Amino acid sequence: MRYALISDIHANRHAFEAALNDIDRANVDMVLCLGDIVGYGPCPVEVMDIAYEHIDVSVLGNHDAVVCNKFSSAYFNPQAKRIIEWTRDSMRESDVDYFNAQAYLIDGDHFKCAHSNFVQPDSFGYVMSPEDAYNNFQAVDDDLLFVGHTHVAGAHVLSKGNHVEWLAADNTSSMIKLQKNKRYLINVGSIGVSRTEVFKANFCIYDSEAKTVEFRVIDFDIDAFLDDIRELDKPEVTNYFSHLL
């Protein structure tokens, strides 16, 4: 099976469409979403409509969880809080129902997915350090784990001797071959809001037969994305992306 693993689309329709075009050509069997379909970005309703058409299974992200009242926006920084409250007000009943029906984990065939972590998935704590990654490996049995949430793509690799190493994904597409005696906690990165120097759409393709995980890094129409922000003319959204405008 070939899986596309996407996360943190964050209401950026141009990045989402560019990623989906790439996924179309990659011959995948399923598109799995690791959450945060909305939040931050200017086009939550449009992105929900694209999500319904293309995502097979999704877990609940912290921004999505605010939309369906399962997580408090009080945990967000003031800027993110204002945007997710506007987003929540923009959502239709069907969008809230969609998020309400989502779980915190995807239990795949010898792999698992969560938005943020496997120790306490509904807490939305970050996996940053080797210690965080080690605690996640202790929490579940599978050798292959996928998360999003930090918006930084790469792999925490657990070797014999309980040593955890972080392999950062580059700003160009790259592939890792999974080895039998190692365990992997892969961060698939973000489709819609990059937190690296290069603003591109990041996601992964996992091939369960070839035992490979490919980090895809895709250009999208940033000017069109910035036009969406200008047209929306919501100060909270404009401020969040002011470094790009």
Instruction: Provide the minimum distance between the beta carbon of 142 and Fe ion in the complex, in angstroms, as a whole number.
Output: 21
Nearer to Fe ion, 9 or 158 (CB): 9
Instruction: Provide the minimum distance between the beta carbon of 61 and Fe ion in the complex, in angstroms, as a whole number.
Output: 5
Region near Fe ion per CB under 5 A, out of 142-150, 158-166, 193-201, 205-213: 142-150
Nearer to Fe ion, 84 or 178 (CB): 84
Question: Terminus-to-terminus CA distance in the chain, angstroms?
Answer: 41
Residue type, 185: L
The pair of structure tokens assigned to 105 is 């984990």
Instruction: Provide the minimum distance between the beta carbon of 38 and Fe ion in the complex, in angstroms, as a whole number.
Output: 11
Region near Fe ion per CB under 5 A, out of 67-75, 132-140, 149-157, 197-205: 149-157
Region near Fe ion per CB under 5 A, out of 14-22, 24-32, 36-44, 88-96: 36-44
SS3 content of the chain, % helix, strand, coil (to 5): 35, 25, 45
Q: Is 149 in the site for Fe ion (CB under 5 A)?
A: yes
Nearer to Fe ion, 35 or 42 (CB): 35
Nearer to Fe ion, 99 or 178 (CB): 99
**Residue with the shortest CB distance to Fe ion:** 149
Residue among 156, 137, 133, 147 nearest 190 (CA): 147
Q: Is 117 in the site for Fe ion (CB under 5 A)?
A: no
How many positions of this chain bind Fe ion (CB under 5 A)? 4
Q: From the list 22, 36, 143, 207, which residue makes contact with Fe ion (rule: CB under 5 A)?
A: 36
C-alpha separations of 63 from 66, 105, 116, 137 in Å: 5, 16, 12, 25
Task: Tell me how far the alpha carbon of residue 126 is from its chain's centroid.
Answer: 13
Instruction: Provide the minimum distance between the beta carbon of 217 and Fe ion in the complex, in angstroms, as a whole number.
Output: 20
Q: Is 62 in the site for Fe ion (CB under 5 A)?
A: yes
Binding site residues, Fe ion, CB under 5 A: 36, 61-62, 149
